[in-house]
Amino acid sequence: IMFSSPVYSNNTPVGVILGYTSFQRIWEILEGYSIGSTGYVYLIDEKGIILSHPDKNIIFSSIPPQYIPPVNTGNSSGFMEYIRTDNKEMIGGYASILEDTFLDGGFWCVIAVQQTSEAFSSLLLFRDQITLFIVIVGTVFIITGVGFSYRVTKPIKKLEDGAKRIASGDLSHHVEIRSGDELESLASTFNTMTDALYKSRKHLEELLYEKEEFINQLGHDLKNPLVPILNVLPVVIEKTKDPEIKKLLLMISDRISYIKHLIINTLKLAKLRSSYQKISLEEIPLSSLIEEAIQGNKILAEEKNINMKNLVDKEIKVYADKLQLEEVLQNLISNALKFTDRNGEVEIGAKKDKGAITVWVADTGIGLTKDQLSHVFEEFYKADPSRHDLASSGLGLSIAKRIVERHGGKIWAESPGLGKGSTFYFTLPNGKKDL
């Protein structure tokens, strides 16, 4: 290969410098560069003629146009990748040289390539190492996090479980935490609080028990003196000839009966408020119990010519305390008869609702106003004092309300207004239930 370059003096050509070399020398230079085990450097001209290559058999042959770097587009260097004829993926770079040397505008291009798999092998190895490192570090963090979480959440779970047990009434429960930190201090405070609550509850239970004993004793002491008086008064009244004195004795007898009735009902109400009052549940055919209550009020119904109807299906059964349920029915039915005028009607019905039985006692009596409906279950309340007999204490509906609520039900009254009758409703569970 021969090279030439003009020599100038004061912008005037004065001679030419000539030089030459052999392709053998170029090959030796380029073969001195190696890139891994699969990489190499080769030289082409602007037409894609191979001027130097490790494979001497393809020197001076042409490479496909798609493998020629785009130097002619103004890129004197750049990045390239291609697939060889043996399907090996190659990646590398190129740089043009001697662009201003050839008179015809030609140039040479040095290309360095390597198989893609080898070129990225170190990067892939680094990637795998990084991935492994991330996995290891992540695992350590997860294990540490789980351990830390367990260490923190376990005592918190103990506190939560302790709070639930205390809320359910187990004030003797203690939360045992030995963590040596604020959670242990919190547990200690928690236990101190439950101990105080436990002592307070025990003291309250003792006071309630004493109150129950006092009420029972008081009721006994109040009723006992009345018994001989009530037994003697009828005899005295019968033997008394003076009408005025007899009238006074009858009034005294009525007032003593009222006092006795008031004492009995007050004691009942007090017992229903007590936590010591137990309910003895049993399955009861409702229709039969209502029939017994109707028979118990038959005399009053016949005196006023009131028609009483039992509309309850014989298949309906409830779980209740029989004696207490009898008292509810007695109160509601006797009130219905009391406040229903002659030739009226009282009906007792029931229906199955979801999870409960709804019972009602309806009458064609004097009815209730909206204001009366809002107070009718209050203790000692009398909707119409002029219509209550002297023996009425005003506690019957309050007692009925307490009994129904102790059974897990509810009680209420409805009325279209005065003179249009009233209906009293209450619900009872139709299945077994702890009360």
pLDDT at 390: 42
Two structure tokens written together for 429: 């569970």
Span 71-81, average pLDDT: 70
Structure tokens at 221: 């002491």
Can you give the pTM of this predicted structure? Answer: 0.47
Most confidently predicted of 66-80, 110-124, 209-223, 234-248: 234-248
Beta-bridged to residue 111, according to DSSP, are 42, 94
Stretch 115-138: mean pLDDT, rounded? 71
- Is it the case that residue 279 has pLDDT exceeding 50? yes
Q: What DSSP element (H or E) covers 257?
A: helix 243-273
Structure tokens at 180: 């040596």
Q: Phi/psi at 262 (nearest 5 deg)?
A: -65, -45
Residue 434 — pLDDT band, cuts 50, 70, 90?
very low
**Using one digit for the tens of pLDDT, what is the confidence trace for 180-211?**
777 678 778 878 888 887 788 777 777 766 76
Question: Which residues make beta-bridge pairs with 309?
Answer: 347
For 224, the enclosing helix (H) or strand (E) is: none
Q: Which amino acid is at 22?
A: S
What distance, in Å, lies between the first and last C-alpha atoms of the chain? 115
The candidate with the shortest Cα–Cα distance to 373, out of 429, 411, 322, is: 411
CA dist., res. 69 & res. 46, Å (int): 9
Query: Higher pLDDT residue, 388 or 211?
Result: 211
For the chain, the average pLDDT equals 79
Q: Which helix (H) or strand (E) holds 91?
A: strand 89-97
Between the CA atoms of 367, 370, 372 and 378, what dihedral angle is there, to the nearest 10 degrees? 120
Give the pLDDT band (50/70/90) at residue 56.
confident
Q: What is the DSSP string of 366-394?
A: S---HHHHHHTTSTT--S-GGGS-TT--S
**Residue 386 pLDDT > 60:** no
The lowest-confidence range among 171-185, 193-207, 347-361 is 171-185
Highest mean pLDDT among 202-206, 221-225, 249-253: 249-253
Helices and strands counted in the chain (H then E): 11, 14
Give the pLDDT of residue 127. Answer: 65
- pLDDT exceeding 90 applies to what percent of the chain? 15
For 16-50, the pLDDT digits (tens) are: 888 777 777 777 777 777 777 888 888 888 788 88
Comparing C-alpha atoms, which of 256, 299, 317, 293 is closest to residue 400?
Answer: 293
